Structure 1
């Protein structure tokens, strides 16, 4: 009785191994390279958006300090604002935050209920 169960188990395992081997041969090998390239492109896009926000904030802060003589407070404040803008750009790019729409309109295109009418 025990032999019969282990024989059917061995036969099922052998059949599964042959099916898996056949599927591995059919699957293309280049699919993972394409996915890796898309992931790399997304990483470059998101990092460049973040870095751009920080650089613009730092540049504006430097110019603010240079013209008004408030060094280093303008740089500090605008650097923090640039950091926040960079994070917001990343969240918008990934779809975690809704894109800004026209004032008074929802993202679905319906007029807001609090318009005073």
Structure 2
């Protein structure tokens, strides 16, 4: 199960770093999407920090189980918040990726919890 956790954590980390990079570049697409969700532009650095912290926690969680679980819980909450934000403005298409990422974060919790 540890190998499965590592593979899924690496994939999730890749997605998180790419998403954080896009947010930090503040492209028109990203700022427009955040504005439509009601997220102030000043929150982008906090979202970037949350994503990068979660990615780092997943990686370190390979060696320190408790941190891997904590990072996955934080990411599940982060993406659940993203789902809620999308659904609040009736953006069902935008909610779909956040739902998938929430489920992956929950899977990471389970994978790391059962691995010794």
Q: TM over 0.5, yes or no?
A: no
Greater RCO between the two (CA within 8 Å, min separation 6)? 2
Q: TM-score, normalised by structure 1?
A: 0.32
Q: TM-score, normalised by structure 2?
A: 0.32
- Greater percentage in helix: 2
